[in-house]
Amino acid sequence: MAVSGFEGFEKRLELYFSGDDPAAGNGLRRLNFYTIEKILHTVQCTVVSAVGNDFFDSYVLSESSLFVYPTKIIIKTCGTTQLLKSLRPLVESAATVGLTLSGCRYTRGTFIFPGVQPFPHTSFKDEVFYLEENLPDNLVYRKAAVLGPRSAAGEKWHVFSACDDSCTLMEDDSYTVEICMTELDRVLAKKFFRRFDDRRTGDSVGKEMTDVTGIRDVNRKALICDYAFDPCGYSMNGLAGGRYSTVHVTPEDDFSYASFECVGSVYDDREEFLRLLQKVVKVFRPAKLSVATTCPTGNDFWKGTAKTMESLGMRLRSRAADEFPGAGTVVFQAFSSRRN
């Protein structure tokens, strides 16, 4: 817990691996729980709940989420965790199951309390330096950029990607959407506080929060693994085939924050995707939010987001886009309520 308040904005690291026969033995899913816990302790977080399916394993962490596929790992953590310190241990652990790193993508928003972040998260410059120093030499194509308004004020999106000659971080048919919301509606945020002297488990209270807040209605088809923290806060991972979605909430008044992330196919019904975004925003009614969409270059799946947000009383404040090696195009849009 930072002295100024809890930092809700997550740091997100996505790593891609390759090998002679990466599907054999489930690849990274062969890593035992002790190995995963040891890496998480380096980052300064722990597993609080877990579930898996035929495609990947999902972990709800004390600070956000971890997803382990046979040849891919996504880890995102909030607070003052040192996420990038997981890079080397993850690469070394992957080598024990015959896999080598072929691609990396790191993203985050603008911290609410940047002054309390420990190295290497003290600045984006420091983060990029740490990544450059710790990535293997075969990742020759690298790029770092900050998307957002040119002025110092305003929400920004920080992106670093790196890949080798063979790696494609963004599949031809997929997209990733990361939504960050602040200044949540106070009445709605109160639903993410536990009752006084509530002695139920975090799992049972989490299921209740999933239902009463409307989060379950966001994607009824997903297998949900949820957890409620004490005295407040909530995390959820949703599994639907090989795709995941995740929600994290810090509901305290002075620094309220919620995030929603999902992956999907650009060939899905775009109107259905936009309805999903509407459902997410209605759960929290934030005063400010940003939407970062990563798609294959040349795909305009992100279009329609601004119009959808306008129907919810949100006004587009800024838009920026950039292309990254092996990772497609990132479109970053920042919105605020019309009352601001």
Sign of the CA dihedral running 254, 331, 67, 208: positive
What pLDDT sits at residue 270? 80
Confidence band for 5, pLDDT divided at 50, 70 and 90? confident
Residue 1 included in any domain: no
pLDDT at 329 over 70: yes
What pLDDT sits at residue 24? 57
pLDDT at 165 over 90: no
Buried b / exposed e across 143-164, counting CB within 10 Å, b at 16+?
Answer: bbbebbeeeeeebbbbbbbbbb
Overall average pLDDT of the 256-261 stretch: 96
pLDDT at 163 over 90: yes
Residue 4 included in any domain: no
What pLDDT sits at residue 298? 77
This model's pTM is above 0.85: yes
Residue 260 included in any domain: yes
| Catalytic (active-site) positions | 7, 10, 64, 78, 235, 248
What pLDDT sits at residue 170? 66
What pLDDT sits at residue 154? 77
Residue 26 included in any domain: yes
What pLDDT sits at residue 166? 78
Alpha-carbon dihedral angle through residues 208, 219, 47, 77, given to the nearest 10 degrees: -110
Overall average pLDDT of the 148-174 stretch: 81
Residue 5 included in any domain: no
Residue 224 included in any domain: yes
Residue 112 included in any domain: yes
Owning domain of residue 127: 11-337
Kindly report the CATH number assigned to the domain that includes residue 16. 3.60.90.10
pLDDT at 1 over 50: no
Angle at CA of residue 331, ends 330 and 333, nearest 5°: 145
Give the chain's domain count.
1
Residue 246 included in any domain: yes
Overall average pLDDT of the 108-114 stretch: 93
Overall average pLDDT of the 277-306 stretch: 91
What pLDDT sits at residue 219? 86
